Amino acid sequence: MNDIFIIIGRLFLSFWLNCELFLLTLLFALPLGLIISFGSMSRLGPLSGLTKTLVWIIRGTPLMLQIIVIFFAPGLLGWGSPWGTGSAGRFSAATMAFIINYACYFSEIFRGGIQGIPRGQTEAGQVLGMTKTQIFFKITLLQVIKRILPPMANEIITLVKDTSLARIISNKEIVMMAQEYTSKGLIWPLFSTALFFLAFVGALTLLFNGLEKKLDYFKA
Residue 2: per-residue pLDDT: 60
Q: What is the rounded average pLDDT of the residues 52-76?
A: 95
Residue 97: per-residue pLDDT: 97
**CA–CA separation, 139 and 146 (whole Å):** 12
48 CB burial (10 A radius; 0-12, 13-18, 19+): middle
| Residue 185 covered by a domain | yes
**CA–CA separation, 55 and 67 (whole Å):** 16
Q: What is the CATH number of the domain that holds 46?
A: 1.10.3720.10
CA 132 to chain centre: 29
| Residue 131 covered by a domain | yes
Residue 220 has pLDDT above 50, yes or no: no
Which range (12-16, 117-121, 162-166, 212-216) has the least confidence?
Answer: 117-121
| Residue 209 covered by a domain | yes
Residue 13: per-residue pLDDT: 95
Residue 115: per-residue pLDDT: 84
| Residue 205 covered by a domain | yes
DSSP 161-174: HHGGGGGGGT---H
Q: How many separate domains does the chain show?
A: 1
Q: What is the pLDDT of residues 75-102, one digit of tens each?
A: 888 787 788 888 999 999 999 999 999 9
Q: What is the pLDDT of residues 159-195, one digit of tens each?
A: 999 999 999 999 999 999 999 998 888 999 999 999 9
| Residue 220 covered by a domain | no
Residue 118: per-residue pLDDT: 77
Query: The whole model's pTM is what?
Result: 0.90
| Residue 155 covered by a domain | yes
| Residue 219 covered by a domain | no
CA 26 to chain centre: 5
**CA–CA separation, 171 and 158 (whole Å):** 19
| Residue 186 covered by a domain | yes
Q: What is the rounded average pLDDT of the residues 103-125?
A: 85
What range defines the domain where residue 199 resides?
Answer: 2-214
94 CB burial (10 A radius; 0-12, 13-18, 19+): buried
Residue 170 neighbours by CB under 8 Å, 6+ apart: 90, 176
Taking residue 67's Cβ as centre, other Cβ atoms within 10 Å add up to 24
**CA–CA separation, 69 and 42 (whole Å):** 29
The proportion of the chain whose per-residue pLDDT surpasses 90, expressed as a percent, equals: 66
